[in-house]
Amino acid sequence: MEGRATRGQSIKSYYFSPMNRIHKLDGLRGLFALFVVLFHFNINNAPAFLVNNFFVRESYIFVDFFFILSGYVIALTYDDKINSRKTFMQFLLKRCIRLYPLLLFSTGMYWYFVHPHFDKQNIFLALDTLLLTNSTPILGTGIGMNYPSWSISSEMISYLVFGVCSLVAFQKRKIKLISIITIICLGFLAYQQNYFQTGSFGFIRGLACFNLGFIVYVLAKKKIQLPNSIEWMIATGILVLMYCHFTATFQNALWIQFMIPISFAISIFIMIKTNGFLSKLLQTKPFLFLGKISYSVYLNQAFIIGYCIPKLFRWIQCTNGETKKTISIVFLLVILVLYSWATQYLVEKQIGKKLMRLIRN
């Protein structure tokens, strides 16, 4: 039961002890977060060699990796712990405290510095984001204020569905229920003829991927051994799939879209079951650091790109256009990493601890 910390256990260690994690997957998430940032650069404001290639132009698909990894980690941590209404509410509260402070902060920064107008439209967009409805059609078809935040809305909806499934079904019935929901979500996206939904039906895409993460968790509990050399299939397979989708025509693009989350789920399963060179590389300090700040990088990117790029282009005077763009992008990435490091500690961690302590008191 999660209701109280045991005697001698501090509030910090009880509420903020790390969830069960696979550190190499955190490293991979951090790396993918940087490529999502590169995708959001305006091609005209960045060097062509860096952003105008199939890998970066397709890197928006890594959001699906984030959803699937989240589903796996949540299942690994909470699968057998949500067994009453009390534990269900505790689970949702802890997830809100984990995600909401940075969502509120990053949305406020984006509003104040990038779109500094207190008008009806901006108020509506901010509400859509802060009410966690910007991946649903409840308040419209847009993605709200601070455009990456639509996925946080989808994430919270996935937590809610996972918690409800944990309450109403157990063990094999829970697996069946979540599998049925996954099939329904994928079927709906196929009916829409567009898997990569964001605004109105982004929550369905996120829920399908989150549930795939749960299925990975179920399969990973089985005693299956894989050779370490199979790790290289991950990099090769993802590259091939991204290139195929980049060059696909409309007629055959849909089935490739649905292969993307499945390939990510298989990749996560393989990484869990192996410990080869790629695993060891992703567990080095630089990748672990990127993994630690990946949530901040993801939510801060819109503010940094929208506010800093115009400033950098005015500050840096170069005769060569590509040189100017390259220097600007390097500076911007450094600023983003340092800024995200600060928000990870001050907003995600410190404010989160204070909120939980306040609620507990």
pLDDT of residue 314: 67
Distance between CA atoms of residues 202 and 206, nearest Å: 6
329, 176 in Cβ contact below 8 A? no
Please tell me the pTM assigned to this model: 0.91
pLDDT of residue 150: 96
pLDDT of residue 315: 65
Distance between CA atoms of residues 74 and 97, nearest Å: 15
pLDDT of residue 313: 67
Closest among 75, 63, 68, 99 to 210, alpha carbons compared: 68
For residue 248, which amino acid is it? A
What is the mean pLDDT for each group of 10 consecutive residues in the chain (361 residues)? 38 38 87 94 81 92 96 94 93 94 96 90 94 92 90 97 93 93 96 90 97 96 90 89 86 86 95 92 94 96 87 62 80 93 96 86 72
Q: How far apart are the first and last CA of the chain?
A: 19
Burial class (CB in 10 A: 0-12, 13-18, 19+), 45: middle
pLDDT of residue 251: 64
Residue 61 Ramachandran class (φ > 0 left, ψ -120 to 50 alpha, else beta): alpha
Distance between CA atoms of residues 165 and 3, nearest Å: 20
Distance between CA atoms of residues 236 and 201, nearest Å: 31
Contacts of 44 (CB under 8 A, 6+ apart): none
Distance between CA atoms of residues 122 and 116, nearest Å: 9
